[in-house]
Amino acid sequence: MTTDHVIENISVNKSFGGWNKQYSHQSTTLNCTMRFAIYLPPQASKSNKVPVLYWLSGLTCTDENFMHKAAAQRVAAALGMAIVAPDTSPRGEGVADDEGYDLGMGAGFYVNATQAPWNRHYHMYDYVVNELPRLIEAAFPVSNKRAISGHSMGGHGALTIAMLNPGRYRSVSAFSPICNPMTAPWGKKAFTAYLGKDQAAWQAHDASELMRQSTQFTPARVDQGGADDFLKEQLKPETLEAAAKESNYPLDLRIHEGYDHSYFFISSFIEEHLRFHASHLS
């Protein structure tokens, strides 16, 4: 079966000479229908495969938030970089959910759930690392030169996935990531539900713990708003900074006074992030 039969186009919009597209497909990893968005710059063609940045969004988001709000297409077009934005969790009839916004649909946390009822569908780590890139590289004119980035829960996902897969991504960046989820209310709730009560299992998905123990390095940039309402209780960038100092990890962490947790912040600095990735993808 060809990829033409396994992905279904939902929408197409021309943008800065390239194409912003949205697709759905049946995921064998997540056991449900998934959606993703892709921006293909004008340089992308069968004879010219372009590098790709995978963007992981935050709590309550879908594949649409980044593509609609981050204003990334202009710079991606100039740099010749594709961008892929998956949804943040499995969805659909029969998929486990929770009444809270910070667990269940929209809150997959980019881990492989081991606990019922979540372990039937919630394998976002395997989806992002394995299934989605295989599909993207087979169906579109992109190369296997990859970078990864994300926001909030997605920043946590980008950092942990990059550190768990040294060499798979040329660079990693994050906006307002959950840096130490083992000690943050969002992380404690999600990890307990998805991974169980044994905190040894949590450490493999905690960016600060991984960075502290790292011996193989992926160039990393993190930007954090100084006026972010979640800064002290949930995000804790100081733990990531301390971990980087312990392991001499190449982390560039910047605090921007006055900026909050929103896409106003992301759109203000997305060009710097894309150029950071382009310097490592070239």
The pLDDT tens digits for 250-275 are: 999 999 999 999 999 999 999 999 99
Band of pLDDT at residue 6, cut at 50, 70 and 90: confident
Q: Residue 249: is its pLDDT beyond 60?
A: yes
Q: Residue 108: is its pLDDT beyond 50?
A: yes
Annotated catalytic residue within 152, 173, 176, 214? 152
**pLDDT score recorded for residue 3:** 46
DSSP letters along 20-51, please?
A: EEEEEEEETTTTEEEEEEEEE-TT-BTTBPEE
Q: Residue 17: is its pLDDT beyond 60?
A: yes
Residue type (1 letter), 63: D
Band of pLDDT at residue 16, cut at 50, 70 and 90: very high
Annotated catalytic residue within 25, 205, 261, 273? 261
The partner residues of 174 in beta bridges, in order of sequence, read 150, 222
Q: Residue 20: is its pLDDT beyond 50?
A: yes
Are the beta carbons of 38 and 21 closer than 8 angstroms?
Answer: yes
Q: Residue 43: is its pLDDT beyond 60?
A: yes
pLDDT more than 90, % of the chain: 98
Could you give the CA distance from residue 211 to residue 208 in angstroms, rounded to a whole number? 5
Are the beta carbons of 179 and 237 closer than 8 angstroms?
Answer: yes
Mean pLDDT, rounded, of the chain: 97
Average pLDDT for 22-45: 98
Q: Residue 170: is its pLDDT beyond 50?
A: yes
The pair of three-digit structure tokens given for residue 68, joined into one six-digit string? 């609609």
**Residue 165: how many CB atoms within 10 A of its CB?**
17
Average pLDDT for 206-227: 98
Could you give the CA distance from residue 30 to residue 32 in angstroms, rounded to a whole number? 6
pLDDT tens for 66-107 read: 999 999 999 999 999 999 999 999 999 999 999 999 999 999
Average pLDDT for 126-130: 98
Catalytic residue status for 261? yes
Catalytic residue status for 205? no
Q: Residue 1: is its pLDDT beyond 70?
A: no
Q: Residue 4: is its pLDDT beyond 50?
A: no
Domains of the chain, earliest start first:
3-281 (3.40.50.1820)
Angle at 72 between CA 71 and CA 76, to 5 degrees: 150
SS3 223: strand
Are the beta carbons of 168 and 129 closer than 8 angstroms?
Answer: yes
Q: Give residue 245's region: left, alpha or beta (phi > 0; psi -120 to 50).
A: alpha
- Where b means 16+ CB within 10 Å and e means fewer, 57-92 reads bbbebbbebbbeebebbebbbbbbbbbbbbbbbbbe
Residue 139 sits at φ, ψ, to 5 deg, of -95, -20
Angle at 41 between CA 9 and CA 53, to 5 degrees: 85
